[in-house]
A and B are shown apart, each in its own frame.
Chain A
Amino acid sequence: GAVVSQHPSWVICKSGTSVKIECRSLDFQATTMFWYRQFPKQSLMLMATSNEGSKATYEQGVEKDKFLINHASLTLSTLTVTSAHPEDSSFYICSARRFTEAFFGQGTRLTVV
């Protein structure tokens, strides 16, 4: 299957700082990428749809100024959690579409202390 690489796999940051997470499609071009958040024992919740060359589309209830998404190329999307707080601690996962299938990155475990 297609490979989607996400980095870092885990990060610990201090409250109030910002964290950037990268998502790369390694062997295909992805015009659309998706960012999810998953709390323990819960399912994946879509945060936003990242579109190459245009603004991201955020799901209801997701603060676009807090979760900055940039999709500057066909193989890279980034999610920046700004002014992180402990309640932002979660498992963040990106996915990229290749034709009709969605492939996931390894996920990033964010802990805000």
Chain B
Amino acid sequence: QKEVEQNSGPLSVPEGAIASLNCTYSDRGSQSFFWYRQYSGKSPELIMFIYSNGDKEDGRFTAQLNKASQYVSLLIRDSQPSDSATYLCAVNFGNEKLTFGTGTRLTIIP
């Protein structure tokens, strides 16, 4: 069974600090990795995707992928209260489908 695991949290981070969200996955053959943000009662919105080992930066967000360790993370710099949400990690295991983790609830404390 192909699985995606995340710490459900809640993770509390002071405003202005760096929030670090982690995700592990079960299949070494996984090809693409996605981070989604979901506000309560809303559908997920794509933040970033990453395919290659290393870091990918987009504004305050950095995705980090380590395929050898089967680990993908999302860093949020200069955290803002509006970043408070549930963050979903999703993995494409080589078919068309995305498998989602259970999500990490992040709270930014003003």
**Interface residues, chain A, CB within 8 Å of chain B?**
1, 6, 32, 34, 42-44, 46, 49, 91, 93, 95, 97, 100-107, 109
Contact = CB atoms under 8 A, between A and B. Distances in A.
A104 B43 contact: yes
Interface stretch (B12-20, B77-85, B94-102): B94-102
A102 B43 contact: no
Contacts of A6: 43
- For chain B, which range describes its interface: under 10, 10 to 19, 20 to 34, or 35 or more residues? 20 to 34
A44 B100 contact: yes
Given A34-B97, A102-B90, 10 more contacts: A6-B43, A32-B96, A43-B88, A44-B44, A44-B88, A46-B97, A93-B43, A101-B34, A104-B36, A104-B45
A103 B103 contact: no
Nearest to A104: B43
Contact of B46 (A1, A32, A43, A44): A1
Contact of B97 (A43, A49, A101, A104): A49
Contacts of B43: 6, 93, 104-107
